[in-house]
Amino acid sequence: MKIVKIIIAVLLVLIIWLGYLGYAVMSLKPKITAEWGYVDDKTTELGLHIYLGKKLPISINVKDVTIEWAGVKIGKIENMRLGFMQDRIDGVLVLDNYKAIEALKNHIKNGEKSYAKISVQASIFGISVFKKEFTQEVETDILSYFDIKTESSGDLIKSPAVEGISSRWGPITDDYITVYSDVKLYNPNSFPIPVSGVQFNVNINENQVASGELIENTVIPANGYGVIKVKTLIDTAVLPKVWAEHIKRGEESDLSIVIYLKVNILNKELKIKVADVHEKIKTDIIDQINSMLQG
């Protein structure tokens, strides 16, 4: 009889435990938040915290957490676990910076429009109890940073003013992303300016990320307007380092664009600076990720 009573008691405890567990699991409303962790040229750590809202009398295995951008899987966590009677799971999702550059290329090829997706799966005893995908549309306007305006300066020979820069994406290779730009200039001088070359440099946090060259010689008429065509190559090899510095600086970077014209005036070759622009690049990527995870 004692054995029967023990078995009945165990069964009752098991039924109560399963009932509470079932209720707890069914009423779970997980909240997921993210924050930047360690970052270097190769990888970026994204700390993930899953808050369940109540303690569970069981261990849960978070089988798989992945992040995908523009069709490229750029990061993954495996085997995050929830301990017995805990209500929070912490893990570190490691992003591959070089895979992120591949995704950036896809994003640009698609007209600077793409989707980011975070997938989360959790299981108890091998049975899936939570599976969700968080998706966010990503839309950028990177080329707008190239559109600058400057005023003319100088005494005897005044530098042409940059009236605006219209750019479009060109070919994308393993090493470079090409940008074609039409630079509209105003020549305030009473004589034409023949342009035989361009030095077009783009720096972010003192790292040169792009350089440009003149596609064809152009003459800017006296007291008139002219357009010079420039081909700029973005060096993708330096972008992971630029990305790492951007995150370390709290998603803020210093952008500078410097443009020199190589001209021939009175049979003399001159180098004239027409632009030396400095701007701040600010993003809110981590806030957008957290907004996506709350969706």
Of 24-28, 60-64, 265-269, the poorest mean pLDDT is in 24-28
Q: What integer pLDDT is reported at residue 28 of this predicted model?
A: 53
The answer, yes or no, to whether residue 150 has pLDDT greater than 60, is yes
Q: Of residues 211 and 61, which shows the higher confidence score?
A: 211
Taken in order 152, 154, 158, 160, the sign of the CA dihedral is negative
Residue range(s) in the chain whose domain bears CATH number 2.60.40.10: 28-140, 142-282
Integer-rounded Cα radius of gyration of the chain: 29
Whole-model pTM: value is: 0.82
The fold for domain 142-282 equals Immunoglobulin-like (2.60.40)
Rounded Cα distance between 137 and 90, Å, is 26
pLDDT class of 30 with cuts at 50, 70, 90:
low
Of 10-19, 181-190, 255-264, the poorest mean pLDDT is in 10-19
Convert the pLDDT of each residue in 109-148 to its tens digit. 999 999 999 887 766 666 566 677 888 898 999 999 889 9
The answer, yes or no, to whether residue 14 has pLDDT greater than 80, is no
Averaged pLDDT of the chain: 83
Rounded Cα distance between 199 and 164, Å, is 17
- Report the Cα 74 to chain-centroid distance in Å: 11
pLDDT > 70 fraction of the chain, expressed in percent and rounded: 79
Q: In terms of Cα–Cα distance, which of 112, 113, 193 is closest to 152? A: 193
Arch. (CATH architecture) of 28-140: Sandwich (2.60)
Say if CB 218 and CB 228 are below 8 A apart. Answer: yes
Q: What integer pLDDT is reported at residue 124 of this predicted model?
A: 63
